[in-house]
């Protein structure tokens, strides 16, 4: 029987992060998978667009501000992934501007596995809106590993 760690050890993983504790847990899980073999991972952070009706806007007044926000997010992502240490040559960092679900799903076809943190909570909000993890799992073109909050 093949385990997740052996099945994806030599694969290309996508790890979307929002800098939360849950995304850190997903990052560490992905790191363990990559270290088990010869895999690679792309750690993705999406600077979220604000939606007003059907029009998407980013609360940025000038292109220079967008460049600065992307630079700051990149620095934060570098710090967030610094704990990976020696695995860093196998890690690519990517910061983009967009809708998180759309950007993750768009990149899913280029990866073998998405490793994503989830609260694992239900309730009315999830029933009405869905969660990022649920929407990614439904739309992804590859397998999705959901890392739940430890209780």
Residue 66: what pLDDT? 77
The pTM (predicted TM-score) of the whole model is: 0.81
Query: Of 72-76, 82-86, 138-142, which gets the smallest average pLDDT?
Result: 82-86
Higher-pLDDT residue of 6, 103: 103
Structural domains of the chain, count:
1
What residue numbers bound the domain in which 50 lies?
A: 4-148
Q: In this structure, what CATH number is given to the domain that contains residue 43?
A: 3.40.50.620
What residues have CB less than 8 Å from 58, skipping those under 6 apart? 47, 49, 50, 66, 97
User: Is 4 a residue whose pLDDT tops 60?
Assistant: no
Higher-pLDDT residue of 127, 21: 21
Residue 58: what pLDDT? 54
pLDDT (tens digit per residue) in 118-150: 876 555 444 444 588 889 999 999 999 999 876
Which DSSP helix (H) or strand (E) runs through 72?
A: helix 63-81
- Identify the CA nearest to 80 among candidates 136, 31, 127, 120: 31
Query: Given pLDDT bands bounded at 50, 70 and 90, which one contains residue 84?
Result: confident
């Amino acid at each position: 029987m093949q385990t997740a760690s052996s099945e994806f050890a030599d694969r290309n993983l996508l790890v979307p992060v929002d800098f939360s504790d849950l995304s850190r847990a997903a990052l560490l899980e992905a790191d363990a998978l990559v270290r088990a073999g010869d895999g690679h991972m792309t750690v993705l952070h999406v600077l979220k667009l604000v939606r007003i009706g059907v029009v998407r806007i980013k609360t940025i007044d000038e292109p220079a501000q967008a460049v600065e926000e992307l630079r700051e997010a990149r620095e934060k992502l570098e710090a967030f992934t610094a704990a990976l240490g020696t695995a860093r040559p196998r890690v690519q960092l990517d910061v983009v501007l967009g809708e998180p679900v759309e950007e993750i799903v768009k990149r899913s076809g280029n990866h073998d596995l998405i490793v994503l943190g989830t609260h694992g909570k239900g309730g009315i909000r999830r029933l009405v809106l869905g969660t990022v993890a649920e929407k990614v799992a439904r739309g992804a073109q590859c397998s999705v590993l959901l890392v739940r909050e430890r209780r």
